[in-house]
Amino acid sequence: MMKQQTGFLQIQTHGQSLTMLNMEISNWILKTGMVTGLLTLWCKHTSASFIVQENVDPDVRQDILTYLDDLVPENRYYQHSSEGADDMPAHIKTVLTQTSLSIPVVNRQMVMGMWQGIYLFEHRKHPHLREIAMHLLGE
């Protein structure tokens, strides 16, 4: 019989950065007692998102940050500017990335490639407390 579990992660960011979540998510999966299923992650914010990316070489992550900053610069005109120069670019970066992920779970582990990391992508310049909803459907 299919079961489901729901949980939440709170992640304190340190300004614009990528925070790997693999360990926290894996620990939660183990606590559910479920062996197989489909994990859904949902970012509850409009200026943060997810990416699945290289988890070893930090240069890859830095290049991604630099590329998106070049693609969506702060120093151009945006109508929405009341929350700071980094706010509207953060919303656009969220549109260009992902606010939800679906990941298979087999033998109590996420089915991930050796070099894949799940990252919370903070798009704002200042630290924020971010919340992620997790839902596991399976057995």
Q: Per-residue pLDDT tens for 27-70?
A: 999 999 999 999 999 999 999 999 999 999 999 999 999 999 99
Q: Region 112-116: what's the mean pLDDT?
A: 97
91-123: string of b/e by CB count within 10 Å (b at 16+)? Answer: bebbeebeeebebebeeeebeeeeeebbbbbbb
How far does CA 112 lie from the centroid of its chain?
15
* DSSP-assigned letter for residue 83: T
Of 137, 135, 130, which Cα lies nearest the Cα of 43? 130
State whether residue 8 is helix, strand or coil: strand
Residue 53 parent element (H or E) = strand 48-54
* pLDDT higher than 90, residue 127: yes
Q: Per-residue pLDDT tens for 69-104?
A: 999 999 999 999 999 999 999 999 999 999 999 999
Task: Kindly list the structural domains of the chain, giving each domain's residue range(s) and its CATH number in brackets, ordered by start.
Answer: 3-138 (2.60.120.460)
Residue 107 Ramachandran class (φ > 0 left, ψ -120 to 50 alpha, else beta): left
